[in-house]
Structure 1
Amino acid sequence: MTIAVTVNTSWNIYNFRMGLIRALLKQGNKIIAIAPQDDYSKNLVEDGCQFVPIVMDNTGSNPFKDYSLYRQLKRIYKDQKPDIVFHYTVKPNIYGTLAAYELKIPVINNVSGLGTVFLNKGIASFVAKKLYQKAFSHAELVFFQNSDDHQLFLMEIPLPNLQTDLLPGSGINLSEFSVSPIIGEEKVFLMIARLIKDKGVLEYLEAAELTLKKYPKSKFQLLGKLDPNHARGIPESIISEAHNNSIVKYLGETDDVKPYIEKATCVVLPSYREGTPRTLLEAAAIGRPIITTNVAGCKEVVSEGETGLLCEERNALDLSEKINTICEMPQKELSVMGKNGRQLIESKFDEQIVINQYLKHLSNIMNQLQAE
């Protein structure tokens, strides 16, 4: 079977989808990875995929560029003749599905988070929802990563015949993450995220400043890529000011977050909404307590008081109070919290759960289509 996997970056495919892709390759399937070319494109080829580059504007909503994406994908699908396409991220989900439908190619879509379309109102959000409705009416299956996203999506976009299922994000390969002890008496807080407002970066900076007044020996770190072209990107000047004033230490970006998590006491993500945040799964798998917001996608990764703490969305004061709680906890309690987090990941977020769901639905869909 030939399976196309279409995503907005090669980096995304390589970092989040390779467990599934390797399982599909092991079964003897041919995998066509379709994404904009970046430093990870060659890795996909080395791992056994055929790579087809596309041009995609990931930040804008220009209808001419988006129509160009639709035409690109339709041409590629026509040339490559995949038996089925897996789509991830907003534009492939919409324009890839419309292109595949024109060619009568079945698709499985994955909504990894509702994002700005549902966080914001306005004409762009209205148009995006209409496009979702048109595209998803032709999907064989849509995976959602949490029940809140699933419910809200179908409440705002009526699709009574849509076949859906839930996945625990992209899952995590537990063999790549082992528990490490929390080292040192100093409390080190680490936030890992793309530096945009929706991730709660500004609240993290404010909470750090508040906590430092009470616990001056605590340390705050920020790891992630600046995104100045994003409509809600955090200006570099704000990050530099916080770094220069010793509120946070900005660590830049990295391909390997494990060493940074291992040196941290607690991982913080005060995001406004997520699908299933990979950084929190990785933190818990390594045995670190978590502080995150009590919102869709984030709250599922935390068992309140047992594996971490939940704070109010967009509330720096409440976030600071939860950070203070971690500052006051003895090492033994933090270690127990981390151990509980690892057990939660093993029971609910193992990558194999995701792979098994895909393989089951893929088999059912292809058998059903062959019977028609």
Structure 2
Amino acid sequence: MKIAIVICEVFGTVQFRRPIMELLVELGHDVYVIAPRDDYVSTLESIGVEFIDIEFDRYINVWQDIKYVISLYKIFKRERFDIVHTWTIKPNLYGPIVAFLAGNRRIFASITGLGYLFNEDPSIKIRITRAMVRKILFFSFRLCKCVTFQNDDDGNQLVREGVLSKEKVVVIKGSGVVLDNYSSVAVNTVVVETIRACYGILESDIVVFMAARASESKGVNVLLEASRILSSRDSRIRIFLAGEAGGDSIDSISEEVLKKNSGHHFAWVGFQKEIREWLAIADIVIYPSHYREGIPRFLLESLAMGKPIVSTNNVGCREVVDEGVNGYLVPIKDPMSLARAVEKIITEDLFFKFGRESLVRSKAFDHRDVARRMVALYEILPQESS
């Protein structure tokens, strides 16, 4: 079969969808990724996936969206794919409709988190945008064989809001993680020692680590406040944040703010292409997000590294943390509760107990199982006659 994956970026496709693409190629299918070109196209091609470049604007831009729809239609008509699978918000908005108009009848969509548009307290502008998005998704999802979600909450919400029927909801937990890549054998000890030396991390320090885009919805402002609380109570605690700062997101936190708050007890280390060695150093992982997550990849990687986790009782996050078993769930936007949960792990010496349970839970998110479940959707659903 000739299969198209329509998505907003190649980088994310390589990071999160690679096991699915590799399995499809292994089964003899021709796989194409339709997205804007970036530095990861060569990685796609190295695993036998074809790339089709298309102009794309992440945010609402009427003229750019019209150009995107026209380009997508031309690609679909030219390539005549057997299956079209759309991922992320804008491809999900337009992709199924355009694919249907181009003659395709085997269309799938995946939602990996509803994002800031579906947060509980958006601005009036976002509420208007959300209403428009719901209307378009209603028509797009009617044309899909099914829509996959990473957690139960997201699918249930869209069913309640009348965006799609319950029969089309398929839940596949997370994007999966390559467990072997996070074993102790895979960790580069030279890189670990380099990081320790660069940031003056002592063996006696307690390292708390978070990786996320620097934004309010990811809870970075809560992290900063919690770091001040923790540093005043225990001088051994060192908190590190890895992730891109600034950008054009409406709630981004700038580099200037992060640098201003950096010191001995908190440090922003910028975007890290690979966080495995940082996780190896970490004693505790925290993730105080109130963003509408699917299942955060960072938390899956933390499970695979056997780390105690403190996160929020938020959509997607609670799929990973079992309260009091491998970590704690705290209320959103509550730095004091976040700090207390970290302190509890330290004072009660729960590092090994929680870490062991995280390793056990990680087995449920093996990338091979996720890939097989996704590919099974293509193979078990009957092809309609033209």
| TM-score with structure 2 setting the length | 0.91
Give 1:162 deviation, angstroms: 5.2
How far apart, in 1, do the equivalents of 2:166 and 2:205 lie?
54
In the other structure, the counterpart of 2:199 is: none
In the other structure, the counterpart of 2:8 is: 8
SS at match of 1:189: strand
In the other structure, the counterpart of 2:198 is: none
Residue in structure 2 matching 1:126, options 113, 120, 131 = 131
Q: Aligned runs of 1:141-180 on 2, under 5 Å?
A: 141-160=146-165, 163-179=168-184
SS at match of 1:13: helix
How far apart, in 1, do the equivalents of 2:91 and 2:246 lie?
21
Q: Which amino acid aligns with 1:339?
A: R
User: Does 1:262 find its partner at 2:267?
Assistant: no
Give the conservation status (yes or no) of the 8 Å contact 1:205–1:247: no
Give 1:219 deviation, angstroms: 0.2
In the other structure, the counterpart of 1:322 is: 341
SS at match of 1:219: strand
Give 1:46 deviation, angstroms: 1.5
Give the conservation status (yes or no) of the 8 Å contact 1:109–1:142: yes
* 1:172-216 CA distance string (max 9 Å, x none): 121222158999442111110011211001000110111111112
User: Does 1:65 find its partner at 2:82?
Assistant: no
How far apart, in 2, do the equivalents of 1:139 and 1:53 lie?
24
Give 1:104 deviation, angstroms: 2.6
In the other structure, the counterpart of 1:253 is: 271
In the other structure, the counterpart of 1:217 is: 236
How far apart, in 2, do the equivalents of 1:164 and 1:228 lie?
33
* 1:81-108 CA distance string (max 9 Å, x none): 1110111110111111111111131211
Give the conservation status (yes or no) of the 8 Å contact 1:70–1:98: no
In the other structure, the counterpart of 2:319 is: 300
Q: Which amino acid aligns with 2:42?
A: K
User: Does 1:92 find its partner at 2:85?
Assistant: no
Q: CA RMSD in A?
A: 1.8
In the other structure, the counterpart of 2:196 is: none
Pick which of 176-185 and 186-195 moved more.
176-185
User: Does 1:339 find its partner at 2:342?
Assistant: no
How far apart, in 2, do the equivalents of 1:179 and 1:153 lie?
41
Q: Which amino acid aligns with 1:342?
A: L
Give the conservation status (yes or no) of the 8 Å contact 2:286–2:311: yes
How far apart, in 1, do the equivalents of 2:288 and 2:301 lie?
16
Q: Which amino acid aligns with 1:271?
A: S
User: Does 1:190 find its partner at 2:209?
Assistant: yes
SS at match of 1:79: helix
Give the conservation status (yes or no) of the 8 Å contact 1:33–1:49: yes
SS at match of 2:177: coil
Give 1:161 deviation, angstroms: 6.7
Give the conservation status (yes or no) of the 8 Å contact 1:89–1:110: yes
Give the conservation status (yes or no) of the 8 Å contact 1:146–1:297: yes
How far apart, in 2, do the equivalents of 1:316 and 1:63 lie?
39
SS at match of 1:122: helix
Change (3 A) 1:290 1:260: same
How far apart, in 2, do the equivalents of 1:269 and 1:237 lie?
22
In the other structure, the counterpart of 1:354 is: 370
User: Does 1:274 find its partner at 2:293?
Assistant: yes
Give 1:336 deviation, angstroms: 2.1
How far apart, in 2, do the equivalents of 1:75 and 1:57 lie?
18
Q: Which amino acid aligns with 2:372?
A: N
* 1:206-252 CA distance string (max 9 Å, x none): 10111111112200000001232111111222111111x44421111
Q: Which amino acid aligns with 1:166?
A: V
SS at match of 1:23: helix
Give 1:159 deviation, angstroms: 2.5
How far apart, in 1, do the equivalents of 2:343 and 2:32 lie?
48
Give the conservation status (yes or no) of the 8 Å contact 2:287–2:312: yes
Change (3 A) 1:145 1:230: same
How far apart, in 1, do the equivalents of 2:174 and 2:39 lie?
24
How far apart, in 2, do the equivalents of 1:164 and 1:51 lie?
29
How far apart, in 2, do the equivalents of 1:227 and 1:90 lie?
21
How far apart, in 2, do the equivalents of 1:5 and 1:33 lie?
5
Change (3 A) 1:185 1:329: farther
Unaligned runs of 5+ in 2: 193-201
In the other structure, the counterpart of 2:79 is: 80
SS at match of 1:143: strand
Change (3 A) 1:235 1:227: closer
Q: Which amino acid aligns with 2:313?
A: N
Count of paired positions: 365
How far apart, in 2, do the equivalents of 1:161 and 1:342 lie?
33
In the other structure, the counterpart of 2:30 is: 30
Q: Which amino acid aligns with 1:148?
A: D
How far apart, in 1, do the equivalents of 2:86 and 2:221 lie?
32
